[in-house]
């Protein structure tokens, strides 16, 4: 297939680009190259004849029309977004612009292209979203595809709005859409402002490892390559108009996750003292969701997907990747806001 992948220079998008090329697809990677992007993430496929990069903004309708007309994709995988909850607390406007207006603009460009092409049933618009749209769980229960939306941060509210737009374009215009909502990802090429790389890089630098609140918030963690695998499956086998929850069935409190990473580092790169000694509790994120947990039975039962690694195995691979790729993360540490505490105002 010929895939137009938005946000392919980011963390998850780049994993999808690499995997799609490896599976034999042609890929057009459309990315505006914001602070969160890094073209090194796709360096391994950059010279492939199957790969094309276009620098464009999903809010730019003219640029999008040109991309559709020039490349004639069979499907869109839409990952471009503002993705950091803490930044959404400090500056929600960009999240509204990119995640809502950008998704609307992309939907309209896709609809126009699809209509002009005779409305082929085989076309797909796959919208990639997050489990954060479902809000916060108590100690029990899991998010299913029918859990009511209850977003609680500017980030998750903007993603929820984009999910609604995509469903509406499916229902109203018949655009063949498919959606997926995934839990927290981790793995190689994770931008150094997110929890897992912050822990690894602060530990290696001998700096305090910040834990928000009491560290008891629970997340369901999924290795990014497993997410990319699931996304390509949903695109090709998912039922039109349907959404699929994707998760690792790997629930952990933040403090347990951080302790696991510290223990792996203690083995792989022993420091003068155990890295866990650097753990420091800091003011909680305002509106910090208590627990996310994904019921992934639909994608497992309908499409036969399951994660290939456990949390322990994925963390081992991830820590090793950061140890082996210092030049990648060093270059990103000087980017705007990286290493600073963001999102404290409530």
**Which among 7-15, 20-28, 271-279, 329-337 is the span making contact with ligand NAD, rule CB under 6 A?**
7-15
Which residue from 3, 4, 5, 11 is in contact with ligand NAD, where contact means CB under 6 A? 11
Q: Least Å distance between CB 44 and ligand NAD? A: 16
In the complex with ligand NAD, which residue's Cβ is closer, 95 or 275?
Answer: 95
Instruction: Assess 243 for contact with ligand NAD (CB under 6 A).
Output: no
Q: Answer for the pair 217, 289: CB distance below 8 angstroms, yes or no.
A: yes
Q: Answer for the pair 96, 162: CB distance below 8 angstroms, yes or no.
A: no
Instruction: Assess 57 for contact with ligand NAD (CB under 6 A).
Output: yes
The active-site residue, picked from 51, 155, 212, 292, is 155
281 is catalytic: no
Which residue from 7, 170, 247, 343 is in contact with ligand NAD, where contact means CB under 6 A? 7
35 is catalytic: no
Instruction: Assess 33 for contact with ligand NAD (CB under 6 A).
Output: yes
Q: How far apart are CA 39 and CA 330, in angstroms?
A: 15
Instruction: Assess 198 for contact with ligand NAD (CB under 6 A).
Output: no
Instruction: Assess 314 for contact with ligand NAD (CB under 6 A).
Output: no
**What contacts 172, CB < 8 A, 6 or more positions away?**
none
Cite the beta strand spans of the chain per DSSP E.
2-6, 26-31, 51-55, 75-78, 124-130, 177-182, 184-186, 209-212, 218-223, 243-246, 251-253, 279-282
Instruction: Assess 257 for contact with ligand NAD (CB under 6 A).
Output: no
The active-site residue, picked from 31, 86, 132, 251, is 132
Which residue from 9, 21, 262, 309 is in contact with ligand NAD, where contact means CB under 6 A? 9
Which residue from 125, 191, 305, 322 is in contact with ligand NAD, where contact means CB under 6 A? 191
Q: How far apart are CA 86 and CA 343, in angstroms?
A: 4
Q: How far apart are CA 293 and CA 281, in angstroms?
A: 24
Instruction: Assess 124 for contact with ligand NAD (CB under 6 A).
Output: no
Instruction: Assess 59 for contact with ligand NAD (CB under 6 A).
Output: yes
Q: Least Å distance between CB 48 and ligand NAD? A: 19
Q: Answer for the pair 53, 39: CB distance below 8 angstroms, yes or no.
A: yes
Q: How far apart are CA 242 and CA 233, in angstroms?
A: 13
In terms of Cβ atoms closer than 10 Å to its own Cβ (0-12, 13-18, 19+), residue 258 is buried
Instruction: Assess 42 for contact with ligand NAD (CB under 6 A).
Output: no
Pairing of the two strands 218-223 and 279-282: unpaired
Give the CA distances from residue 143 to residues 134, 135, 165, 182, 257, in Å, rounded to whole numbers and listed in that order. 7, 9, 21, 10, 21
Name the token pair of 266: 């203690």
**Which among 146-154, 183-191, 207-215, 262-270 is the span making contact with ligand NAD, rule CB under 6 A?**
183-191
The active-site residue, picked from 31, 82, 86, 131, is 131
173 is catalytic: no
In terms of Cβ atoms closer than 10 Å to its own Cβ (0-12, 13-18, 19+), residue 39 is middle
Q: Least Å distance between CB 310 and ligand NAD? A: 18
Instruction: Assess 185 for contact with ligand NAD (CB under 6 A).
Output: yes
Q: What string marks each residue from 211 to 240 as x (binds ligand NAD by CB under 6 A) or -?
A: ------------------------------
Instruction: Assess 192 for contact with ligand NAD (CB under 6 A).
Output: no
**Which among 56-64, 66-74, 141-149, 169-177 is the span making contact with ligand NAD, rule CB under 6 A?**
56-64
What is the distance between the terminal CA atoms of the chain, rounded to a whole angstrom?
Answer: 45
Place of tokens 């998750």: 156
Active site residues: 131-132, 155
Residues that bind ligand NAD (CB under 6 A): 6-7, 9-13, 31-34, 36-37, 57-59, 79-83, 98, 102, 128-130, 159, 182, 184-185, 191
């Amino acid at each position: 297939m010929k895939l137009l992948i938005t946000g392919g220079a980011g963390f998850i998008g780049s994993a999808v680009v690499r995997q799609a090329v490896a599976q034999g697809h042609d890929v057009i990677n459309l990315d505006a190259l914001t602070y969160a992007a890094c073209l090194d993430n796709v360096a391994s496929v950059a010279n492939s004849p199957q790969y094309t990069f276009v620098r464009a903004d999903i809010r730019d309708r003219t640029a999008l029309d040109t991309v559709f007309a020039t490349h004639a994709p069979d499907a869109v995988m839409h990952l471009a977004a503002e993705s950091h909850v803490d930044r959404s607390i400090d500056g929600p406007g960009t999240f509204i612009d990119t995640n809502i207006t950008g998704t609307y603009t992309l939907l309209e460009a896709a609809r126009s292209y699809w209509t002009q092409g005779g409305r082929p049933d085989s076309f797909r618009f796959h919208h990639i979203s997050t489990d954060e749209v479902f809000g916060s769980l108590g100690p029990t229960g899991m998010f299913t595809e029918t859990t009511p939306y209850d977003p609680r941060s500017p980030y998750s509210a903007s993603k929820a709005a984009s999910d609604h737009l995509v469903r509406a374009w499916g229902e109203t215009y018949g655009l063949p859409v498919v959606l997926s909502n995934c839990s927290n990802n981790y793995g190689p090429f994770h931008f150094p402002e997110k929890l897992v790389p912050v822990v690894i890089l602060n530990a290696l630098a001998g700096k305090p490892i910040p834990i928000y609140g009491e560290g008891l918030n629970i997340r369901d963690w999924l290795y990014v390559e497993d997410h990319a695998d699931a996304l390509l499956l949903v695109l090709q086998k998912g039922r039109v108009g349907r959404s699929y929850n994707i998760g690792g069935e790997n629930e952990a409190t933040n403090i347990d996750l951080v302790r696991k990473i510290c223990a792996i580092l203690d083995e792989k790169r022993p420091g003068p003292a155990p890295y866990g000694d650097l753990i420091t509790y800091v003011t909680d994120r305002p509106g910090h969701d208590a627990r996310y947990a994904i019921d992934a039975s639909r994608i497992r039962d309908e499409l036969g997907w399951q994660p290939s690694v456990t949390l322990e195995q994925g963390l081992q691979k991830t820590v090793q990747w950061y140890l082996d790729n210092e030049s990648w993360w060093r270059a990103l540490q000087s980017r705007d806001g990286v290493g600073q505490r963001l999102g404290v105002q409530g």
